[in-house]
Amino acid sequence: MRAELVLIILAMGLITYATRVGAFAVLRVTGMPGWLRRTVKYVPVGVLTALVVPSLLVRDGAVDLSLENHYLLAGLITAVVAWKTRNVALTVAVGLAAVLTLTALL
């Protein structure tokens, strides 16, 4: 390992950790203001939605609503299973089956 690169990597680690611990550190000192508590309440639903929707709708940097986009149609099927069963294994299995089937058929 080159010393210069090790230093760069460790600095990256420190910067990344600072972003992870920053909010805890500041809020330990200041306490959690009420307005912030109310505001962050809906962050989880936003983050989780962001981890779902763009990966189904956005292909190669553009919104793709066509039938060519197998992930969109498979995503709709998968969403129904997720909603009804709340079972991760079943949802993933149905989702993968839907993608593979659509890819084979269309």
Partner 1 sequence: MSITRTAPNNAAGNSGHITDLALVSAFKEAAQAVLPIMLGIVPFGLAYAIVGRSAGLSAGELLLMSATVFAGASQMIAVSILNEGVTAAGVLMVATLLVNLRHILMGATLAPRVAGFGLTRQAVIAFFMIDESFALTISRAETKGFSFRYYLAVGLLFYCGWFAVTAIGIVLGGLIDDPFALPIDFVMPATFMVLVVPFLKTRTGRIAAVVAAVAAVIGAVYFDGHWYIAIAGVAAAVSGALIETYTEKPTDAR
Cβ(95)–Cβ(77) below 8 Å: yes
Enter the tokens of residue 14: 């420190």
Site size with partner 1, rule: CB under 8 A: 67
Residue 39: which region, alpha, beta or left (left: phi > 0; alpha: psi -120 to 50)? alpha
72 binds partner 1 (CB under 8 A): no
Binding test (CB under 8 A) with partner 1, winner from 67, 68, 103, 106:
103
For residue 13, the minimal CB distance to partner 1 (Å) is 3
Burial status of residue 89 (CB atoms within 10 A of its CB: 0-12, 13-18, 19 or more): exposed
Q: Of 51-70, which residues contact partner 1 (CB under 8 A)? A: 51-58, 61-63
Cβ(69)–Cβ(62) below 8 Å: no
43 binds partner 1 (CB under 8 A): yes
- The residues binding partner 1 (CB under 8 A) are 1-2, 4-6, 8-13, 15-17, 19-24, 27-28, 32, 36-58, 61-63, 71, 74-75, 78-79, 82-83, 86-89, 91-92, 95-96, 99-100, 103
